């Protein structure tokens, strides 16, 4: 049976899989197609709707990607999001310009006109914006349904053509899910045709079909993603899997012992490899964040290739998730935000075949799979920790003495979060060591020492994030402990940037 899809045209947005995922969650099958897919090709699939994603381009640039203009005349409901809205406006004769005031992060939306799209929603709510261009005049026949302070034309419509300047797909838009629900079920009259189903069974089969009789080594970090990937694959192919945990000298205080004891208890075939000298020597003198990420990626692979040779494995299993792929511009049209060591950081010639069963999923979906697999909560609730580890939390060159300072500061922050019952309330938290010094006074003596920044964010998938409103008393306590206990630090600051426009990590 052919399922009627919701079609998403991809203009290179960071969020394109998030759109697909929102639609999946609402029980509708969805497909992502290239932005220039012909209208007749789209029509053949009998879709419920066409959604135009956001994207990094600006419609008035000569090389801007634009969809087949016929899509506006198919009589199929259409929803343009951010760049998608701007493309529709431009092609139908409206005007889009670079805005004087750009809009990143939270904005308040005010609904001006009732519409099925806003069914059941309040007249005012928070939405998440990420744009520099702005619709300044509408094409003929369009009306405004909602505005924000910076975007008078935040939601527009003509018949079944809708355009939205904000991002309903990101978790920080308060009623984003409801907007998709209303669009699919009230505007498009869609019928449920997709069950999240048993993703676990599907994945097990996929792994068995790919690996067949082969052997696999798993790059295991002790984090949520690679743990879920390992347990899943172990269930699929048993002891033909071996897990390799690399101590690259960039791990947190106590982490090696912690990870070892977790994995002994899960009874997975497990090996620890100490490669810290190799990683630290390669990073010596390197300041550029992208360069550091690539070095870590390549060095990881060197270690894994050696391990594979020893065990005769042909596959390398990684816990790669969708955000890693998209930020490394692993999808067409997307810009590189940062090279995730496990995607863009891989060498061109890879002697191993990659196995990445979680590649199109998001962190919270992976946690759900982990739960189904019986992985203990304590492990599943661990905060994400990037593969390049502390090397991207020491801004600039990575020196051994700085690693020690950062380890101590980070340990205090996390220990106190746990003590105060806040660890599971924030999505991710860590300390960053800044490459600057500032003046202090301790016991009547002048100090001139380093600065630590604390970062704690609320998120559901890492694609967007807001800074956690940690209690002042808590921050005060952590500041005091860090400055009193960690030699070399005389100042602590708290990072209050959201993503966008910042990112979660500093490098």
Ligand X SMILES: Nc1ncnc2c1ncn2[C@@H]1O[C@H](COP(=O)(O)OP(=O)(O)OP(=O)(O)O)[C@@H](O)[C@H]1O
Ligand Y SMILES: O=c1[nH]c(=O)c2[nH+]cn([C@@H]3O[C@H](COP(=O)(O)O)[C@@H](O)[C@H]3O)c2[nH]1
Ligand Z SMILES: NC(=O)CC[C@H](N)C(=O)O
Catalogue the active-site residues.
82, 167, 169
Binding residues for ligand Z, total number by CB under 6 A:
12
Nearest distance from C-beta of residue 425 to ligand X, angstroms: 17
- Among 14, 49, 26, residue whose Cα is nearest residue 193: 26
Q: DSSP string covering 78-137, please? A: EEEETHHHHHHHHHTT-EEEEEEEEEEEEEEEEE-S--GGGTT--SEEEEEEEEEEEEEE
Nearest residue to Mg ion, scored by beta-carbon proximity: 223
The piece of 27-35, 261-269, 339-347, 478-486 that touches ligand Y (CB under 6 A) is: 339-347
Nearest distance from C-beta of residue 39 to ligand Z, angstroms: 22
The verdict on whether residue 320 carries a ligand-binding annotation is no
The verdict on whether residue 174 carries a ligand-binding annotation is no
Query: Rounded to an integer, what distance in angstroms lies between the CA atom of residue 463 and that of residue 321?
Result: 11
Instruction: Identify what 94 binds: ligand Z, ligand X, Mg ion, none; CB under 5 to 8 Å per kind.
Output: none
Instruction: Identify what 82 binds: ligand X, ligand Z, Mg ion, none; CB under 5 to 8 Å per kind.
Output: ligand Z
Nearest distance from C-beta of residue 252 to ligand X, angstroms: 11
Residue 82 interacts with ligand Z (CB under 6 A): yes or no: yes
Among 167, 203, 450, 499, binds ligand Y (CB under 6 A): 499
State which of positions 115-154 bind ligand Z (CB under 6 A).
130-133
Task: Answer for the pair 81, 170: CB distance below 8 angstroms, yes or no.
Answer: no
The verdict on whether residue 126 carries a ligand-binding annotation is no
Query: Rounded to an integer, what distance in angstroms lies between the CA atom of residue 404 and that of residue 191?
Result: 57
Q: Between 48 and 67, how does the x/- string for binding to ligand Z read (CB under 6 A)? A: ------xxxxx---------
User: From its phi and psi, is residue 212 left (phi > 0), alpha (psi between -120 and 50) or beta?
Assistant: left
Within 379-496, strands assigned E span 428-442, 445-458, 466-467, 489-494
Question: 203 or 341: whose CB is closer to ligand Y?
Answer: 341
How big is the CA angle at 197 (ends 195 and 201), to the nearest 5 degrees?
160
- Among 241, 253, 243, 203, residue whose Cα is nearest residue 222: 243
Q: Between 359 and 398, how does the x/- string for binding to ligand Y read (CB under 6 A)? A: -------------------------x-xxx----------
The verdict on whether residue 224 carries a ligand-binding annotation is yes
The verdict on whether residue 495 carries a ligand-binding annotation is no
Structure tokens at 200: 């676990």
Cα R_g (the chain), whole angstroms: 24
Instruction: Identify what 54 binds: ligand Z, ligand X, Mg ion, none; CB under 5 to 8 Å per kind.
Output: ligand Z
The piece of 18-26, 62-70, 90-98, 215-223 that touches ligand X (CB under 6 A) is: 215-223
Residue for token pair 């009589």: 75
Task: Answer for the pair 293, 340: CB distance below 8 angstroms, yes or no.
Answer: yes
The piece of 18-26, 217-225, 269-277, 352-360 that touches Mg ion (CB under 5 A) is: 217-225
Query: Rounded to an integer, what distance in angstroms lies between the CA atom of residue 507 and that of residue 502?
Result: 10
Query: Rounded to an integer, what distance in angstroms lies between the CA atom of residue 457 and that of residue 469?
Result: 9
Residues annotated as binding site for ATP? Answer: 221-227
Where along the sequence are the contacts to Mg ion (CB under 5 A)?
221, 223, 385
Residues annotated as binding site? Answer: 221-227
Where along the sequence are the contacts to ligand X (CB under 6 A)?
219-221, 223-226, 245-246, 248, 318-319, 324, 342, 384-387
Where along the sequence are the contacts to ligand Y (CB under 6 A)?
293, 323-324, 327, 338, 340-342, 384, 386-388, 428, 462, 499, 503-505
């Amino acid at each position: 049976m052919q399922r009627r899809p919701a079609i998403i045209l991809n203009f290179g947005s960071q969020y394109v899989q998030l759109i697909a995922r929102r639609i999946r969650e609402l029980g509708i099958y969805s497909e992502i197609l290239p932005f220039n897919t012909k209208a007749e090709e789209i029509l053949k699939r009998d879709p419920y709707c066409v959604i135009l994603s956001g994207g990094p381009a600006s419609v008035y640039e000569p090389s801007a990607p634009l969809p087949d203009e016929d899509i506006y005349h198919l009589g199929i409901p259409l929803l343009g999001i951010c760049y998608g809205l701007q493309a529709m406006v431009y092609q139908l004769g409206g005007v889009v310009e670079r805005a004087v005031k750009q809009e990143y992060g939270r904005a308040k939306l005010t609904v001006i006109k009732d519409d099925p799209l806003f069914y059941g929603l309040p007249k005012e709510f928070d939405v998440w914006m990420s744009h520099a261009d702005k619709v300044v005049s509408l094409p003929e026949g369009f009306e405004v349904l909602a505005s924000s302070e910076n975007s008078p034309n935040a939601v527009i419509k003509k018949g079944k053509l809708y355009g939205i300047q904000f991002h309903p797909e990101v978790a920080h838009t308060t009623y984003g899910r409801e907007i998709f629900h209303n669009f699919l079920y009230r505007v498009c009259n869609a019928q449920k045709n997709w069950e999240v189903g048993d993703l676990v069974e599907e994945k097990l089969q996929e792994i068995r079909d790919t690996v067949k009789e082969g052997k696999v080594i798993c790059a295991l970090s002790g984090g949520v993603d690679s743990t879920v990937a390992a347990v899943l694959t172990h269930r699929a192919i048993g002891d033909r899997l071996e897990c390799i945990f690399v101590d690259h000298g960039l791990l947190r205080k106590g982490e090696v012992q912690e990870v070892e004891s977790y994995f002994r208890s899960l009874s997975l075939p497990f090996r620890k490899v100490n490669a810290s000298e190799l990683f630290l020597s390669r990073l010596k003198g390197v300041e550029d964040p992208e360069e550091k990420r690539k070095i870590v990626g390549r060095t990881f692979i060197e270690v894994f290739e050696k391990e594979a040779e020893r065990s005769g494995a042909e596959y390398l299993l990684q816990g790669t998730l969708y955000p890693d792929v998209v930020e490394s511009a692993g999808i067409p049209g997307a810009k590189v935000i940062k090279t995730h060591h496990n995607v863009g950081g891989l060498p061109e010639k890879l002697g191993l075949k990659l196995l990445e069963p979680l590649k199109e999923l998001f962190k919270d979906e992976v946690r759900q799979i982990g739960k189904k697999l019986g992985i203990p909560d304590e492990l599943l609730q661990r905060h994400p920790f990037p593969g390049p580890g502390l090397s991207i939390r020491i801004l600039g060159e990575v020196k051994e003495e700085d690693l020690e300072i950062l380890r101590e500061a980070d340990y205090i922050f996390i220990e106190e979060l746990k003590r105060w019952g806040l660890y599971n309330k924030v999505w991710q938290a860590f300390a960053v060591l800044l490459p600057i010094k500032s003046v202090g006074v301790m016991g009547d003596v002048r100090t001139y020492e380093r600065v630590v920044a604390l970062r704690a964010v609320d998120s559901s998938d890492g694609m967007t994030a807001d800074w956690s409103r940690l209690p002042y008393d808590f921050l005060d306590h952590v500041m005091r402990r860090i400055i009193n206990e960690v030699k070399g630090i005389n100042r602590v600051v708290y990072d209050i940037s959201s993503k966008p426009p910042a990112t979660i990590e500093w490098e």
